[in-house]
Structure 1
Amino acid sequence: MILKSLSNEFEHEVTSTRRLLQAVPEKDLAFKPSDISWTMGELAQHIATIYYWYVGTCTMDEYDMAADQLERGSPGDIKATLELFETNVEKAREALKSLTEENLKENWTMKVGDKVVLGPMARIGVIRGFLFNHIYHHRGEMIVYLRATGNKVPGMYGPTYEEDVRNQG
């Protein structure tokens, strides 16, 4: 029951994330709102990368990010980032399918080398808090980046301000 709910949410949100990443224009990939912020291209690439982390979360009890290498391509190439996203979504989908309800209760830990950075905690908490919510957080940032550069934001939960006909002068 929980797995079906997670899977349904995953599929719905993948569609929303795809629409958002497809709205990122090549011309604005170098934009960053402050000196300490990522560029728009780096943020888009990070969003695409989070989907890769489903594999380590769903298929391992202990995930060492330092030992896992993912070829990302250039954050200055939105087409490469969209391809990375699609590839990682497929991997994430398969990883989610490998889970059982029992697996969701098992403890999971994330490390970077010898340093524990998350956990141990129940895998369901990692999936909800670290994966799903992490993506939502960064999508919100991307919306701000898009609006700050004068780009349109696609609707994800209904029409956005830019899509609402009442706001068309």
Structure 2
Amino acid sequence: MFHTIESFIEEYSNEAAATQKLLDALTDASLQQEVAPGYRTLGHLAYHLIPSEGLLSPLDLQLEVPAEQSQPPAAASEIAEAYRKVTQSLLEAVRTQWTDEKLEESALVFGATWKNGLTLYALMKHEIHHRGQLTILMRQAGLPVYGIYGPTKEEWQSMGLPVPAI
């Protein structure tokens, strides 16, 4: 849970930058990649990473976000740009509309009472969870995958280091 605006801004800015790097690597053709028939496509999953009204509407922040059940654009660049705009808008809204005390206030989220700092924490963890799924679909689609918390196999190799045993 976040207790200061600055801690949220610092942490979420870092996570959003990592997500943005992956979204910027998507191609229009890759958006149709499925892990298995009947599951979310890479395009749906990428669009799901954009903060939406489902988790944010109880927070009473003034910002524009996609509707919870809206369809993803057909262009990868539109998904990446929408993510960029919404995350910057979210960071700016929290920075300018809230104080640290607002993080301790509670709201009804998914039928439970959560402190606002917990809701922002859950938003970030939700993104991290789905970002991991995104990297698997990116690999299946033949796209480059970038290390988030450590190097990928390709990054180890490009550094001339032995790839750790799997």
TM-score by length of 2: 0.79
What is the correspondence of 1:47-86 to structure 2 with a 5 Å cutoff? 47-48=49-50, 50=51, 56-59=57-60, 69=67, 74-86=72-84
**Matches of 2:72 and 2:119, distance apart in 1:** 28
Give % identity: 24
Does 2:138 match 1:146? yes
Aligned to 2:6: 4
Greater fraction strand:
1
Tell me the C-alpha RMSD between the 2 structures: 2.7
What is the correspondence of 1:78-157 to structure 2 with a 5 Å cutoff? 78-97=76-95, 98-110=97-109, 117-129=110-122, 131-157=123-149
Q: Could you give the per-residue CA deviations for residues 74-117 of structure 1, whole angstroms, max 9, x where no partner exists?
A: 4321111112112101210122112212111111123xxxxxx2
The runs of 5 or more residues in structure 2 that have no matched partner are: none
Displacement of 1:35 after TM fit? Answer: 2.7
**Matches of 1:7 and 1:74, distance apart in 2:** 26
Aligned to 1:45: 47
**Matches of 2:132 and 2:151, distance apart in 1:** 15
The runs of 5 or more residues in structure 1 that have no matched partner are: 111-116
